[in-house]
Chains A and B, each alone.
Chain A
Amino acid sequence: KNQVEQSPQSLIILEGKNCTLQCNYTVSPFSNLRWYKQDTGRGPVSLTIMTFSENTKSNGRYTATLDADTKQSSLHITASQLSDSASYICVVRLTGANNLFFGTGTRLTVIP
């Protein structure tokens, strides 16, 4: 069964600290994996996208990694800011089909 699981469900960190969010998937055949950031009351915004052959992708203070063998991805946030408070959603796409599988997200709260 194609599934995407994210952990932790929620996370609270101090401003300036780093954190890592996890995404495990069983989707196959895999095409790409995308991380989205969703601020409260807004639609998701794409942060990074990685295909099978890529194992790391950065976007400013956000760095995503992908291990296609173990079917795991992580999103590392460096020097967190209050504006990083949001839900982070991992999305995996199937090869050859326009099918997307969404994780339920990690709710990150950055406190001063």
Chain B
Amino acid sequence: KAGVTQTPRYLIKTRGQQVTLSCSPISGHRSVSWYQQTPGQGLQFLFEYFSETQRNKGNFPGRFSGRQFSNSRSEMNVSTLELGDSALYLCASSLVSGVSTDTQYFGPGTRLTVL
């Protein structure tokens, strides 16, 4: 069974631009969560989608948004990029939402660099 895939793997953008990242979950998984990882802050939760609905949201500004499609694939968008948005963006999928012991499987991440 294929794992979580994320595209692109690397991105370089300039301040003020916008970017869209894509995540394909493991087949059969319906929950997709997004995280930002930086050396100083570690992993921080962005949001979770389940059945095309946002279930939970972390403490990030409105420039960060996402959506989920009927096939469970998810996209994350960041508008008006800032230097501080440079990070590894990780996507994780799980079977369902809200089951505390359900394992999340992470993708390899998208490395975003903002110049």
Contacts and interface: CB of A to CB of B under 8 A. Distances in A.
CB-CB nearest 9 A-B residue pairs: A43-B106, A104-B42, A102-B43, A31-B100, A98-B56, A44-B106, A43-B107, A46-B103, A102-B42
B84 interface: no
Interface of B: 4, 41-45, 48, 55-56, 90, 92, 97-98, 100-101, 103-109
Nearest to B35: A102
Interface in A34-56: 41-46, 49, 51
A41 B6 CA distance: 13
9 contacts: A32-B101, A44-B106, A89-B42, A98-B48, A98-B55, A98-B98, A102-B42, A102-B43, A105-B42
A2 to B, nearest CB: 12
B51 to A, nearest CB: 14
Interface of A: 31-32, 41-46, 49, 51, 89, 91, 93, 95, 97-100, 102-105
A67 B88 CA distance: 32
A35 to B, nearest CB: 12
B76 to A, nearest CB: 15
A89 B88 CA distance: 15
Contact of B44 (A97, A98, A102, A105): A102
A59 to B, nearest CB: 12
A27 B101 CA distance: 17
Contacts of A100: 45
B45 A99 contact: yes
B100 A93 contact: yes
B29 to A, nearest CB: 14
A104 B40 CA distance: 8
Given A99-B56, A102-B45, 10 more contacts: A43-B106, A45-B106, A51-B100, A51-B101, A89-B43, A95-B100, A98-B98, A103-B42, A104-B41, A104-B42
